[in-house]
Amino acid sequence: MKHPLRRAAAACCAALFLAGGGAIAQAPTAPTSSSSTEAAANQAVQYTLPNGMTVIVKPDRRSPTAVHMLWVRVGSMDEVDGTTGVAHVLEHMLFKGTARLAPGEFSRRIAAMGGRENAFTGRDFTGYHQQIPAAKLEEVMRLEADRFANNRWPDEEFRRELEVVKEERRLRIEDSPRSMLYEVISGTVFLTSPYRRPISGWMSDLHSMTAQDAREFYQRWYVPANAALVVAGDVDPAQVLRLAERFYGSVPARAVPVRKPRTEPQQAGMRRVEYKGPAEQSYVALSFKVPQLRSFEPSADSDDALALTVLAAVLDGYSGARLDRALTQGEDRVADSAGAGNGLWGRGPQLFTLDGVPAPGKTPEQVEAALRAEVARVAREGVSEAELQRVKTRWIAAEVYKRDSVFSQARELGTFWAWGLPLDSAERLMERLKAVTAQQVQAVAAKYFVDDQLTVGILRPIPRDPAARPRTPPAGLRH
């Protein structure tokens, strides 16, 4: 399981707040040339409705389509023990109707427009999205605002959908030994952070979950001030704002519940866990606790978080990078595959992960030692300027290519909002990454990869049950 750099599409806007149209707008600065005029017209703009809801618009007029996304800043990290998985269950239930819509009718109407729709739940947020012809935006906004404010369904509908969610967990987690290993690792790495709980929830909690649990979670967290509308594509920001005021602005304002801090205690010794599962090969994952990027202002933690991201790319950012060359090539190769990734940012604490699959005749312990040896080599010898330039050039190219996807632009703007970051975080990130030096990369390689920050997880294969039959995806599978 890899944790690659979460790149973002470029989205420029100035930190100028203007009042107008019943909303607070974060507007672009005035253009000075024809090229800057065009660029300004395509910048992301942010508004705040009187009820506290955020509206973000990113024009992109290259095709007559639009992406409409509703983000709620709530995920598995906002759950409590005993009702784990409720954020994901509630995501499913939002497709089950309102006073105006029967169960499943939302999806049927989107399909009739020629659109596509789905939803997702993460640790930090929940999102609902539709990709539709731009001319259908008003109709889609009416539908989404209705289910955001008026979601309702009978208990029997909940019971049926809960069985779909359970089957999803069996298919995606319980039938995947590596996924099960990562659940064990998360529960070991984190003691107090809610990141220790799985997004899908513990099966025992799903078995005991009630319709009222989901309704209470919905009433608590699905409030305007905890939500953001993101629209990207062939749209006019002023028109989107008018529609948002019409459909979302009428939702009554309510206070967002106070989130109490749950600070992870300092780790004081290596932790080791194992999981035995029916796999063809063993697997090892090393998780190191590292600082995260909370803002773009220079600081010790933010500088180190950026340098760790560059280190991950030097180790595993392209075909033939250091881990590939050192561990997976040659007659005496130790691994069939090896990877590295840095959790740069998020609402909760982050990890730097090294992982690998042992080659035939090799052990997870040998892969573990080889992974750590490559980091130690960087700490001892440093990295070359050519390596730095290669990974930075690849990132810049990826940023340019990513703008071809309107959906990616919308999703990343929503992600930035959920993490409390500015709309132009992609550009700020790229500027900060380009400034990371070889000396900084060498310094973080020497600082953070120590035993006291480490949790090691190993998957030990066991024979498969010959009577076990492969599962088929449930009919209600959404993601």
**pLDDT of 47-71, one tens digit each?**
999 999 999 999 999 999 999 999 9
Residue 6 is predicted with a pLDDT of: 29
Q: Would you place residue 5 in the very low, low, confident or very high pLDDT band (cuts 50, 70, 90)?
A: very low
Give the residue with greater pLDDT, 394 vs 448.
Answer: 448
Region for residue 85 given its phi and psi (left: phi exceeds 0; alpha: psi -120 to 50; beta: otherwise): left
CATH number of 271-461: 3.30.830.10
DSSP tag of 123? S
> Mean pLDDT throughout 165-169?
97
What is the token pair recorded at 25?
């707008």
Q: Quick one: which of 476, 449, 16, 409 has its CA closest to 233?
A: 409
Q: Is the pLDDT of residue 363 over 90?
A: yes
Is pLDDT above 50 for 157?
A: yes
Catalytic residue among 38, 79, 91, 331: 91
Q: How many residues does the chain have?
A: 479
Question: Which residues are CB-contacts of 92 (< 8 A; sequence separation ≥ 6)?
Answer: 161, 164, 165, 476, 478
pLDDT higher than threshold 70 for residue 14: no
Would you give the distance in Å from CA 388 to the centre of its chain? 26
DSSP string computed for 370-400: HHHHHHHHHHHH---HHHHHHHHHHHHHHHH
Confidence label for 381 from pLDDT (cuts 50, 70 and 90): very high
353, 2 Cβ separation under 8 angstroms: yes
- Which tokens is 179 given? 């996924």
Q: Of 301, 451, 325, 324, which Cα lies nearest the Cα of 376?
A: 451
pLDDT at 50: 98
Q: What is the pLDDT of residue 16?
A: 19
Which residues are bridge partners to 289 per DSSP? 351
pLDDT greater at residue 319 or residue 169: 169
Nearest to 228, CA basis, from 8, 416, 59: 416
The CATH label, of 3.30.830.10, 3.40.50.1100, 3.40.50.720, 3.40.190.10, for the domain at 44-247 is: 3.30.830.10
| pLDDT recorded at residue 470 | 66
**Can you tell me the mean pLDDT for 305-328?**
96
Q: Kindly state the average pLDDT of the residues 350-366.
A: 98
Residue 474: pLDDT band (50, 70, 90) is low
Q: Please answer whether residues 127 and 70 qualify as being in contact, where contact means their C-beta atoms are separated by less than 8 angstroms.
A: yes
pLDDT band for position 472 (50/70/90)? low
Q: What Cα–Cα distance (Å) separates residue 166 from each residue in 66, 92, 160, 208, 295?
A: 33, 12, 10, 12, 38
* Phi, psi angles (nearest 5°) of residue 449: -100, 60
Confidence of residue 414 (pLDDT cuts 50, 70, 90): very high
Q: Judge if 44-247 and 271-461 fold alike in CATH terms.
A: yes
Question: Is 90 exceeded by the pLDDT of residue 473?
Answer: no
- Can you state the percent helix, strand and coil of the chain, rounding each to 5? 45, 20, 40
Residue pair 287/368 in contact by the 8 Å Cβ criterion: no
Structure confidence at residue 475 (pLDDT): 59
CB 407 within 8 A of CB 267: no
Work out the mean pLDDT of the chain and round it to a whole number: 90
Q: What is the mean pLDDT of residues 466-479?
A: 64
- Residue 76 pLDDT greater than 90, yes or no: yes
Cα angle 48, 52, 55; round to 5: 35
* Domain boundary assignment for the chain: 44-247, 271-461
Asked if residue 27 has pLDDT above 90, the reply is: no
Is the pLDDT confidence value at 81 over 90? yes
For the chain, the maximum distance between any two Cα atoms, rounded to a whole number of angstroms, is: 71
Q: Is 91 a catalytic residue?
A: yes
Q: Look at residues 426, 432, 422 and name the one whose alpha carbon lies nearest to residue 10.
A: 426
Task: Write the DSSP string, 20-34.
Answer: ETTEEEEEPPPP-SH
